[in-house]
Amino acid sequence: MIKALEHKKASSLFGNALTSKNAALFFLFFAFVTTSCANQSRALAPSAATPIVKQVWHARTVDPVYLGQFPIEHAQPSHARSSDQLVVASSSGFMTVYKAANGEEIWRKKFDDSFYAGALAVSDQVFIGSLDGFVRALSLLSGEEIWKKSLGASLESVPAHHDGRIFISDTANGLHALDASTGEVLWSHRRDPPTFFTIRGTCKPEVNDGVLYCGFSDGYLGAFQIDTGDVLWSVNLSDGQTEFTDINDEVFVTDDTVFAASYSGGVYALNREDGTTIWHNKVRGVADFALSFDSIFIATSNKLVARIARDSGEADWSFKFKKSAPIDVLHVGDYLFATTANGPVFVFDGKTGYPFEKWMGTNGSSAPPTWAANRLYFLTDAGEVVVNRIGWKLGK
Q: What is the mean pLDDT of the chain?
A: 86
CATH of the domain at 102: 2.130.10.10
CA distance 237 to 216: 10
Say what percent of the chain tops pLDDT 70. 85
Q: What is the pLDDT of residues 365-379, one digit of tens each?
A: 889 999 999 999 999
Do 377 and 394 contact (CB within 8 A), yes or no? no
Identify whether 279 is part of a domain: no
Residue 13 — very low, low, confident or very high, per pLDDT cuts 50/70/90?
Answer: very low
pLDDT tens profile 150-168 = 999 999 999 999 999 999 9
Segments forming the whole domain that contains residue 331: 5-208+295-393
| Type of residue at 182 | T
Is residue 45 situated within a structural domain? yes
Whether 215 maps to a domain, the answer reads no
How far is Cα 178 from Cα 188, in angstroms, rounded to an integer? 9
Model confidence at 14: pLDDT above 70 = no
Q: What residues have CB less than 8 Å from 395, skipping those under 6 apart?
A: none
Fill in the DSSP letter of residue 13: G
- pLDDT value at residue 239: 94
Assigned domain for 17 exists: yes
| pLDDT at residue number 361 | 64
Total count of domains within the chain: 1
> What is the pLDDT averaged over residues 268-295?
95
Q: Percent of the chain having pLDDT more than 90?
A: 70
Asked whether residue 289 is assigned to any structural domain, the reply reads no
Position 220 in a domain: no
Spatial contact of 188 and 176, defined as CB atoms under 8 Å apart = yes
Secondary structure letter of residue 217 according to DSSP = T
Q: Residues 97, 143: contact at Cβ < 8 Å?
A: yes
Q: Is the pLDDT of residue 23 over 60?
A: no
322 band by pLDDT with thresholds 50, 70 and 90: confident
- What pLDDT, in 10s, does the model give residues 164-204? 999 999 999 999 999 999 999 999 999 998 888 888 889 99
Confidence band of 222 (pLDDT split at 50, 70, 90): very high
Is pLDDT larger for residue 392 or for residue 322?
Answer: 322
**What pLDDT is stored for residue 49 in this prediction?**
87
pLDDT score, position 362: 62
- Mean pLDDT, range 265-276, rounded to an integer: 97
Mean pLDDT of 214-227: 96
Q: Is residue 244 part of a domain?
A: no
Residue 105 lies in a domain: yes
pLDDT at 145 over 50: yes
The one-letter amino acid code at 377 reads: Y
Please say if the pLDDT value at position 15 is more than 70.
no
**20 pLDDT tier (thresholds 50, 70, 90):** very low
Over residues 321-332, mean pLDDT? 90
Rounded to whole angstroms, what are the CA distances from 258 to 202, 222, 254, 376? 18, 11, 6, 27
Return the sign of the alpha-carbon dihedral for residues 183, 135, 128, 76: negative
Residue 48 confidence (pLDDT) = 80
Are the beta carbons of 118 and 103 closer than 8 angstroms?
no
Widest CA span in the chain: 60
Q: Are residues 165 and 179 in contact, defined by beta-carbon separation less than 8 angstroms? A: yes
Distance CA 272, CA 325 (A): 32
Question: If you average pLDDT over residues 27-40, what whole number do you get?
Answer: 30
What integer pLDDT is reported at residue 1 of this predicted model?
A: 37
Taken in order 224, 229, 231, 234, the sign of the CA dihedral is positive
pLDDT at 37: 34
* pLDDT of 363: 67
